[in-house]
């Protein structure tokens, strides 16, 4: 039994100051070696990309659970509680296990320090906690969401994953991954391994397809890629999305999702391609398993309606591509409503471009920060400088709690309030409203 309390564990993680400004795997491999390489005991599906990673991971997890497998899942960040990052068959890791494996990883980090090694980063620590935990659980497969990039990400320590999935790639983390789309795609493609199949979702940029195709050829990886998908919307409400979808690889009618947002159709495509790739290596997944798993899929903080009168929506859109998809959903579901956007944006994002897209669908914008959660937020005054020439009404509230009150005071019952731009902000807002219930 660990001597750590839950608060001790969270404080330890939050106080790790080592940053991965320069990505490298050396430190992670040293930590895993001290932990007896738990990653070597796991069958893994890795998921990299810029947008749609979390939803793809969750939907695939549900499909594999429906097929009878015990499925582990590592995603980030969490919205309410740290344990949410680690799930088995949709159930969060319990507090006792979280404390146990945090204590184990902390002890090995302490050993590294005594050996004059640098302390592993926050993401390396939380990834190692997950690998230790899942290596001792009765799971059949583990789905791992990659953090930043892929090639040098802390999760990329598997020599032979069952499958590598790459969702849509766009410009993000330019300071770390590169300035061109080819450089970014090369980093994301680093999860592709010798003789292991790869799924590539529909891409906006041809250079992404070329780069990933070349990497697959180099590593003799069977590539599952459809240049286009044909989908037909059958029903779309704020409670349900029903559609047909087909590509060169599959055909499904009357697919039902609890989630809204047209981008979820693209995420479904990722999952359906992954099913074909897994069938190709022997996994027994029927179409009935696919329908069942998708119908159960839900991902909090992604076009999530948490209140009506007025509508309050949470969306984790935090980069240009994500906010563009949010814009499409807003225009479809709320064409006649006045929209108030509350946003906080991290420094590594292209905040000027993100704000410009928000201007396109918002009547009023409330700028805020998430101090206490992260030191990576763009300051409210700096955000304001990027948008002060706008013809929209712009408000500034440094404290996110005050931003909630400001938005509520601005809204009528027919308006829509959307919180987006940072998952840290979405997590705070979601927890705030959950506590009111």
Determine whether 25 is exposed, middle or buried from the number of CB atoms within 10 Å of its CB (0-12, 13-18, 19+).
middle
Q: Is-contact 153 147, C-beta < 8 A?
A: yes
Q: What is the structure's pLDDT at 431?
A: 87
Q: What is the structure's pLDDT at 352?
A: 83
pLDDT at 179 over 80: no
What CA–CA distances, in Å, run from 132 to 37, 111, 114, 129?
A: 8, 17, 22, 5
CA 222 to chain centroid, in Å, comes to 25
Mean pLDDT for 224-237 is: 89
- Rounded Cα distance between 136 and 42, Å, is 9
Q: What is the structure's pLDDT at 21?
A: 46
Which tens digits make up the pLDDT trace of 117-137? 888 999 999 999 999 999 999
| Least reliable range by pLDDT among 243-247, 381-385, 400-404 | 381-385
Q: What is the structure's pLDDT at 371?
A: 63
Q: What is the structure's pLDDT at 2?
A: 54
The model's confidence at residue 173, banded by pLDDT at 50, 70 and 90, is low
pLDDT at 185 over 50: yes
The model's confidence at residue 19, banded by pLDDT at 50, 70 and 90, is very low
pLDDT at 372 over 80: no
The model's confidence at residue 176, banded by pLDDT at 50, 70 and 90, is low
Q: What is the structure's pLDDT at 386?
A: 83
The model's confidence at residue 197, banded by pLDDT at 50, 70 and 90, is very high
pLDDT at 20 over 50: no
β-pairing, 230-236 with 241-246?
antiparallel
Which tens digits make up the pLDDT trace of 74-101? 998 887 788 999 999 999 999 999 999 9
- Rounded Cα distance between 109 and 118, Å, is 9
Query: Would you call 246 helix, strand, or coil by DSSP?
Result: strand
Write down the mean pLDDT value for the chain. Answer: 89
- Kindly state the percentage of the chain with pLDDT values over 90: 54
Q: What is the structure's pLDDT at 374?
A: 55
Whole-model pTM?
0.86
Q: What is the structure's pLDDT at 383?
A: 86
Evaluate the omega torsion of the peptide bond into residue 57 and state whether it is cis, within 30 degrees of 0.
no
Q: What is the structure's pLDDT at 51?
A: 81
pLDDT at 263 over 80: no
Mean pLDDT for 304-328 is: 85
Q: What is the structure's pLDDT at 283?
A: 97
Evaluate the omega torsion of the peptide bond into residue 310 and state whether it is cis, within 30 degrees of 0.
yes
Q: What is the structure's pLDDT at 329?
A: 86
Which tens digits make up the pLDDT trace of 55-75? 899 999 999 999 999 999 999
Q: Is-contact 167 53, C-beta < 8 A?
A: yes
Q: What is the structure's pLDDT at 375?
A: 61
pLDDT at 384 over 90: no
| Least reliable range by pLDDT among 225-229, 241-245, 348-352 | 348-352
Residue 189 neighbours by CB under 8 Å, 6+ apart: 48, 150, 151, 166, 211, 212, 215
- Beta bridge partners of residue 142, listed in sequence order: 44, 72
- Rounded Cα distance between 85 and 100, Å, is 15
DSSP 377: B
What CA–CA distances, in Å, run from 244 to 199, 229, 230, 234, 268?
A: 21, 10, 8, 7, 11
Full DSSP string of 4-53 = --HHHHHHHHHT-----SS--SHHHHHHHHHTT-GGGG--EEEEE-SBSH
Q: What is the structure's pLDDT at 81?
A: 84
Higher pLDDT, 79 or 39: 39
Mean pLDDT for 401-423 is: 92
């Amino acid at each position: 039994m660990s001597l750590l309390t839950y608060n001790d564990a969270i404080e330890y993680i939050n106080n790790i100051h080592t940053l991965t400004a320069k990505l490298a795997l050396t430190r992670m491999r040293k930590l895993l070696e001290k932990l007896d390489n738990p990653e070597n005991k796991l069958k893994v599906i890795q998921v990299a990309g810029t947008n749609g990673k979390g939803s793809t991971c969750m939907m695939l997890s549900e499909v594999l659970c429906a097929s009878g497998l015990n499925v582990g899942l590592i995603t980030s960040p969490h919205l309410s509680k740290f344990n949410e990052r680690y799930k088995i068959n949709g159930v969060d890791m319990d507090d006792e296990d979280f404390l146990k494996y945090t204590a184990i990883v902390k002890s090995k980090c302490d050993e590294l320090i005594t050996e004059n090694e640098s302390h592993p980063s926050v993401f390396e620590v939380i990834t190692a906690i997950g690998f230790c935990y899942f290596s001792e659980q009765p799971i059949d497969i583990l789905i791992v969401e990659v953090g930043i990039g892929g090639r040098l990400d802390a999760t990329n320590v598997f020599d032979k994953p069952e499958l590598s999935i790459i969702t849509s790639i766009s410009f993000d983390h330019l300071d770390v991954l590169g300035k061109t789309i080819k450089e970014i795609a090369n980093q994301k493609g680093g999860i592709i391994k010798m003789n292991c199949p790869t799924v590539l979702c529909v891409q906006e940029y041809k250079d992404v397809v070329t780069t990933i195709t070349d990497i697959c050829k180099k590593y003799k990886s069977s590539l599952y890629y459809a240049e286009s998908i044909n989908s037909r919307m059958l029903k779309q409400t704020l409670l349900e999305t029903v559609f047909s979808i087909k590509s060169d690889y599959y055909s499904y009618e009357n697919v039902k999702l609890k989630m809204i947002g047209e981008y979820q159709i693209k995420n479904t495509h990722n999952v359906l391609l992954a099913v074909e790739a897994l069938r190709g290596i022997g996994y027994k997944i029927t179409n009935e398993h696919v329908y069942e798993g998708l119908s159960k899929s839900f991902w909090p903080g992604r076009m999530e309606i948490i209140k009506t009168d007025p509508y309050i929506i949470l969306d984790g859109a935090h980069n240009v591509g994500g906010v563009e998809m949010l814009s499409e959903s807003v225009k479809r579901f709320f064409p006649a409503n006045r929209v108030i956007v509350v946003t906080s944006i991290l420094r590594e994002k292209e905040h000027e471009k993100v704000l410009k897209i928000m201007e396109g669908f918002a009547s009023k914008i409330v700028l805020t920060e998430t101090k206490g959660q992260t030191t990576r937020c763009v300051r409210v005054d700096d955000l304001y400088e990027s948008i002060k020439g706008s013809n929209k009404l712009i408000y500034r509230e440094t404290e996110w709690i005050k931003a909630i009150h400001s938005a509520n005071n601005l809204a009528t019952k027919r308006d829509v309030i959307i919180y987006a731009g940072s998952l840290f902000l979405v997590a705070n807002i979601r927890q705030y409203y959950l506590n009111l219930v």
